[in-house]
Structure 1
Amino acid sequence: MVSMTGMDSTFEGSQYKQYSGSSYATYVDFDVYKKGVYFDSGQVKYITDFKWGQTYTTTYVHRGIFEELFIAPKALNETSGEVSIYVRTVPFITFIWGGLFLMLAGMIVLGVIDYSADGKVTTPMAKIKGTRKKASESRKGGKK
């Protein structure tokens, strides 16, 4: 559960046209509860950029071993003090990263094992590649 604890807005950047800043930022403070127990506090920012005519947000991300918590503001109404927040929990995301690194390590090990310590080819695929290379060298006059 996410509980909003505060909201504050301010102009940021240098003056732009009739505004005292080039963007208007709203800071949203919140507390995160897991199973009814306080877990963490955070802050996200909703920014309206007058100069470029766009809005964007900052996000809160808490990475754990078994899950990743992602919080971002979707929309806000400052007159009523309402904030629409997007909250997503992604389970086991760490295992995806671990699997990627394990796959890369396996590819590196296979590349190293492809050649033996004395430089001779050890796998059938590498032998085929080496045979093709020697054949093309002999057609061109090759090494003597």
Structure 2
Amino acid sequence: MVSVTGMDSTFEGSQYKEYPGSSYATYVDFDIYRNGAYFDSGQIKYITDFKWGQTYTTTYVNRGVFEELFIAPKALNETSGEVSVYMRTVPFITFIWGGLFIMLAGIASLVLVDYSVDGSSANTLPKIKGKRNKGTEGRKGGKK
């Protein structure tokens, strides 16, 4: 559960047209509760950029061993003081990162084992000299 503890807005950046800043940022402070007990506090930011006519948000991320928690603002209504947030928990994300690193280590070890000290490939087949390709024997112009 997320409980909003505070909300503060301010203009940021240099003056742009009739605005005292190039963007308007709203900071939302919150507390996170897990199973009814306090877990962590955080802050997300909702930014309206006047110069580019877009809105941006920052995301709260809590990385744990067995899960990652993401919280981001979806919508903001400053007149009523309401904020809608998106909250998602991704379980077992550490195993995905661990698997990626194990795979990269395996690829690196294969590449290192495949090449000898002088840089030539250790798995090249020896070339047989004086033999013709069997596919050309018996063809017109080929050796019979």
Structure with a larger share of its residues in helix: 1
- Seq. identity, %: 78
Equivalent AA in structure 2 for residue 87 of structure 1: M
Q: Which residue is 1:12 aligned to?
A: 12
Equivalent AA in structure 2 for residue 127 of structure 1: T
Q: Distance in 2 between matches of 1:121 and 1:88?
A: 48
Deviation of 1:111 (Å): 1.4
Q: Distance in 1 between matches of 2:66 and 2:16?
A: 46
Q: Which residue is 2:30 aligned to?
A: 30
- 1:110–1:131: structure 2 CA closer, same or farther, 3 Å change rule? farther
Q: Distance in 2 between matches of 1:5 and 1:73?
A: 14
Q: Distance in 2 between matches of 1:106 and 1:44?
A: 39
Q: Which residue is 1:107 aligned to?
A: 107
Deviation of 1:120 (Å): 7.6
Q: Which residue is 2:124 aligned to?
A: 127
For structure 2, list consecutive stretches of 5 or more residues without a partner in the other structure: 130-144
SS at 1:127 equivalent: coil
Q: Distance in 2 between matches of 1:3 and 1:97?
A: 30
Q: Distance in 2 between matches of 1:8 and 1:115?
A: 60
- CA deviation vs aligned residue, 1:3-53 (integer Å, no higher than 9, x gap): 000101111111111111110000000001111110100000000000110
1:66 aligned onto 2:63? no
Deviation of 1:80 (Å): 0.6
Equivalent AA in structure 1 for residue 54 of structure 2: Q
Tell me the C-alpha RMSD between the 2 structures. Answer: 2.2
TM-score (norm 2): 0.82
Decide which structure has the larger Cα Rg and report it.
Answer: 2
Q: Which residue is 1:42 aligned to?
A: 42
Deviation of 1:127 (Å): 2.0
SS at 2:31 equivalent: strand
- 1:119–1:60: structure 2 CA closer, same or farther, 3 Å change rule? closer
Runs of 4+ in 1 over 4 A off after TM superposition: 116-122
Between 9-18 and 64-73, report the one with greater CA deviation: 9-18
For structure 1, list consecutive stretches of 5 or more residues without a partner in the other structure: 135-144
